[in-house]
Amino acid sequence: MMRKAVPFIRKDWQKRVEEIGFGFYEVDGLPYWDESAYYQFTSGEVDRLEEVTEELYGMCLKLVDYVVSHDLLERLGIPALFHDYVRQSWRRQEASIYGRFDFQYDGKGEPKLLEFNADTPTALFEASVVQYYWLQDFDPSKDQFNSIHEKLLDVMDHRLRSLAKGGVFYFSSVRGSLEDYTTSEYLRDVAMQAGIETGQIFIDDVGYDHDRRRFVDLEEKEIPCIFKLYPWEWMLKEPFAEYLLSTGMTFFEPPWKMILSNKAILPLLWEMYPHHPNLLAAHFAPPDTLTPFVEKPFFSREGEGITIGTSFSRRKEQVMYQEYRELPFFSGNYPVIGSWIVGSRSAGMGIREDTTPITNNLSRFVPHLFDQ
Amino acid sequence: MKKSRTVTLILLTSSLFLGCQDKVRNEYGSWDDCVKDYRDPSKCEATTTQGSGGYFHTSYFGPWYSRSNASSYVHNPSSVTGRAIGVSRGGFGGHGGHGGHGGHASS
């Protein structure tokens, strides 16, 4: 694995990315999409990332089964009112579209799991489409660990089309975020290509029809299926939460993903698979050690609430502690590998880098390639 | 080979995309007219702006909707479409950010 500066940047790159619907390549005047460099991998490194991603996903599914069968939902901070809702979703084996494992990886040792973004992962469009077209321009003879688009089409075609039952499948995100809107509309685009009838609705436009006891769109038509780029832990605290239990609307990601989007899975995985080569030591209690650990809230996004330290004197509610492993450092940048699982298959990766060791919502997306 | 053989887009490369340019909303002369049309005050929004002469002007808007039939479902949601009674909205999205990259709900 190495980071390479490019000999040239596409002269009209802004126009090129806008043509494929990518509008948030800059944030607050700073670059988010950065093609002044790329990461180069060997095929062996890519093979390893692919294997580890599928192995970890298998371990995660076993963990969900363990949590459900041993009634550990309370421990994950999921409100008791929704325990049965989550359990039923798992027992019905409700389909999942995707998730993103974040790895610390330098190409030498084993990839180490930092976290699993199982509910509302983003940077999907950048990984699946934007870096694909970059490679087509830069050097189409090279390969890229990226069959995300094909695998999404496959999941939409074989698993989701039948769930839509000929009805409209809605895609939803928060109003005012072009990044989230693009991610949601990209998935809608793929669904349309799979022959699914689709609609778009912002999450705050979703209505509840008290007479019919159904969630409805802006024309008061029932919403049978919805992809929501909106975290479950937020939904459960909101006024419509109580209606979830009786409407029968199918959600993507499904309710059982509440378990895996919770950082409490990291100590649980460590308990189930102690010293697994792709896991970092993780605990619920502050570790009594001089080695640095990272304190992470069960529910946090984009590096929010994360602290690196050696001493955590006060035990807090709903936080966990994960062994600190320094990210690789290339020319002043710390890259994190985001490895995508689509359905249950490893599908590709995207890399985000930052000048600090905590990746956040302003970290840049940098493309990658590898030699076949 | 581990890259997609081809990546084709149909929605994101259409004129409908990039910036919700296709989204419009109805403007009313008064708050009551808006509420009367949508039968739901939560659908209406009042926006006050100061004109060049220093006078304040209040505009009343209904919810955003898509102007184009090509987006398949979001037509004008005002009462001309025959709304049912007893629908509430805004019960999800309370945590949602507004204002770009930093205001999102993904991770």
Residue range A48-71, pLDDT digits in tens: 999 999 999 999 999 999 999 999
The pLDDT value given to residue B23: 62
The two beta strands, A30-31 and A26-27, are antiparallel
Q: What is the pLDDT of residues A100-109, one digit of tens each?
A: 999 999 999 9
SS3 of residue A172 by DSSP? strand
User: What stretches of chain A adopt beta strand conformation (E)?
Assistant: 2-5, 26-27, 30-31, 37-41, 98-104, 112-117, 169-172, 198-200, 207-209, 214-216, 225-228, 250-252, 282-283, 293-297, 307-309, 319-323, 334-342, 345-354, 364-366, 368-370
B15 interface with A at CB cutoff 8 Å: no
The pLDDT value given to residue B75: 45
The pLDDT value given to residue A283: 94
The pLDDT value given to residue B71: 36
Q: pLDDT-derived band of residue B99, with 50, 70 and 90 as boundaries? A: very low
Interface of B with A in 72-101 (CB under 8 A): 72-75, 77, 81, 83-101
Task: Please compute the mean of the pLDDT values over residues A83-94 and round it to a whole number.
Answer: 97
Burial-class residue B54 by CB neighbours within 10 Å (0-12, 13-18, 19+): exposed
Task: Please compute the mean of the pLDDT values over residues A87-99 and round it to a whole number.
Answer: 97
Residue A329 pLDDT more than 80?
yes
The pLDDT value given to residue B29: 77
Q: pLDDT-derived band of residue B53, with 50, 70 and 90 as boundaries? A: low
Q: pLDDT-derived band of residue B13, with 50, 70 and 90 as boundaries? A: confident
d(CA B106, CA A118): 10
d(CA A97, CA A91): 17
d(CA A184, CA A125): 9
Residue A298 tokens, joined:
């069960």
Task: Please compute the mean of the pLDDT values over residues A88-112 and round it to a whole number.
Answer: 97
Q: Closest to A150 (Cβ–Cβ): which among B5, B10, B73? A: B5
d(CA A229, CA A127): 17
The pLDDT value given to residue A354: 93
Q: What Cα–Cα distance (Å) separates residue A360 from each residue in A145, A181, A327, A356, B101?
A: 23, 19, 14, 9, 11
Q: Which of A48-52, A79-83, B91-95 has the lowest mean pLDDT?
A: B91-95
d(CA A208, CA B82): 17
Residue B98 pLDDT more than 50?
no
d(CA A164, CA B87): 23
Interface of A with B in 205-234 (CB under 8 A): 205-211, 216-221, 228-231, 234
List, as one string, the DSSP characters of A228-242: E-S-HHHHTTSGGGG
Q: What is the pLDDT of residues A205-231, one digit of tens each?
A: 999 999 999 999 998 999 999 999 999
Strands of A225-228's sheet, edge to edge?
A198-200, A169-172, A225-228, A250-252
The pLDDT value given to residue A7: 85
Query: What is chain A's alpha carbon radius of gyration, rounded to the nearest angstrom?
Result: 21
What are the start-end ranges of the H helices in A156-264? Answer: 161-164, 178-193, 232-235, 244-247, 257-260
Q: What is the pLDDT of residues A283-317, one digit of tens each?
A: 998 888 788 999 999 987 766 778 887 777 666 78
Residue B101 pLDDT more than 60?
no
Burial-class residue A61 by CB neighbours within 10 Å (0-12, 13-18, 19+): middle
| Helix pair A43-69, A265-272: axis angle to 10 deg | 100
The pLDDT value given to residue B78: 57
The pLDDT value given to residue B74: 40
Return the domain boundaries, chain A: 2-262+327-370
Top residue of A43, A47, A136, A219 to mutate, by most chain B CBs within 10 Å, is: A219
**CA A126-B20-A17 angle, 5° bins:** 30
Maximum Cα–Cα distance across chain B = 66
The pLDDT value given to residue B84: 40
pTM of the model: 0.85
ipTM of the complex: 0.90
A32 interface with B at CB cutoff 8 Å: yes
A240 interface with B at CB cutoff 8 Å: yes
A144 interface with B at CB cutoff 8 Å: yes
d(CA A198, CA A219): 14
SS3 of residue A66 by DSSP? helix
Q: Closest to A174 (Cβ–Cβ): which among B4, B73, B97? A: B97
The pLDDT value given to residue A22: 95
Q: pLDDT-derived band of residue A361, with 50, 70 and 90 as boundaries? A: confident
Q: What Cα–Cα distance (Å) separates residue A347 from each residue in A52, B8, B47, B50?
A: 12, 17, 46, 52
